[in-house]
Structure 1
Amino acid sequence: MNDIKLVLKEQFQNFGIIKRISTYEEKATYQSHYLGLMWQFLNPAIQVGIYYLVFGLGVNGGRQVDGVPFIVWMLMGIITWFFLNSSILGMSNSIYRQVGMVSKMKFPVSVLPSVNMASNFVSYRWMMLLLIIAMFIAKVPITIYWLQYFYYFICMIAFLFSFGILNATITVLVRDYHIMLQSVLRLLFYLSGPIWNLHTMGQFKGRDSLVRLLELNPLYYIINGFRDSFLSRQWFWEIGSQTIFFWLLVLILLALGSHLHMKFRARFVDFI
Structure 2
Amino acid sequence: MKEVFTLIKEQIQNIGIIFRISRYEDKAEYQSHYLGLVWEYLYPLIQIGIYWVVFGVGLKHGSSTHGVGYLPWMVIGITPWFFMNRAVLDASKSIYERVGMVSKMKFPVSVLPTIKVVSNLTTFWTMLVFTILIGLLNKVYPAVSWFEWIYYFICMIAWLIAFGIFNSTISVLVRDYRILLQSVMRMLFYLSGVLFNFETNAFPAPMVRILQLNPFFYVINGFRQAMFGEGHFWQQGTLTIVFWGFVLFFLLVGSHLHYKFRSRFVDLI
TM over 0.5: yes
Hey, what does 2:258 align to over in structure 1?
261
Identity of aligned residues (%): 54
Q: Residue by residue, what CA displacement relative to the aligned partner does 1:125-175 show, whole Å, maximum 9, x if unpaired?
A: 111111011111112132221111100000000000000000000000001
Secondary structure of 1:199's counterpart equals coil
Shift of 1:28: 0.7
Classify the secondary structure of the residue corresponding to 2:140: coil
SS at match of 2:157: helix
Task: Work out the CA distance in 1 between the residues paired with 2:202 and 2:211.
Answer: 15
RMSD over aligned Cα atoms: 0.9
Amino acid at match of 2:8: L
> How far does residue 201 in structure 1 lie from its aligned partner after superposition?
5.5
CA distance in 2, matches of 1:161, 1:31: 27
- Structure 1 length-normalised TM: 0.97
Q: What are the within-5 Å matches in structure 2 for residues 72-221 of structure 1?
A: 72-200=72-200, 202=202, 207-221=204-218
What is the number of residues matched between the two proteins?
A: 269
Please tell me whether residue 237 in structure 1 is matched to residue 239 in structure 2: no
Q: Deviation per CA, 1:209-248: give whole Å up to 9, x if none.
A: 0000100000001100000100101111111100011111
Amino acid at match of 2:138: A
Alignment partners' CA distance in 2, 1:209 and 1:254: 28
Deviations 1:23-57 (A, max 9, x none): 11111111111111111000111011111111111
User: For residues 53 and 201 of structure 2, what CA distance do their matches in structure 1 show?
Assistant: 20
Structure 1 runs of 4+ off > 4 angstroms? none
* 223-232 or 64-73: bigger deviation: 64-73
**C-alpha distance in 2, partners of 1:140/1:40?**
26
Q: 1:150 to 1:144 in 2, by over 3 A?
A: same
- Distance in 1 (CA, whole Å) between partners of 2:66 and 2:151 is 22
In structure 1, distance between residues paired with 2:69 and 2:225: 16
Hey, what's the Cα distance between the residues in 1 that align with 2:131 and 2:67?
16
Distance 2:243 2:202 in 1: 27
Q: 1:56 aligns to what?
A: 56
Deviation at 1:67, TM superposition (A): 2.0
Q: Secondary structure at the match of 2:84?
A: helix
Q: Which runs of 5+ in 1 are unaligned?
A: none
Q: What's the TM-score, normalizing by structure 2?
A: 0.98
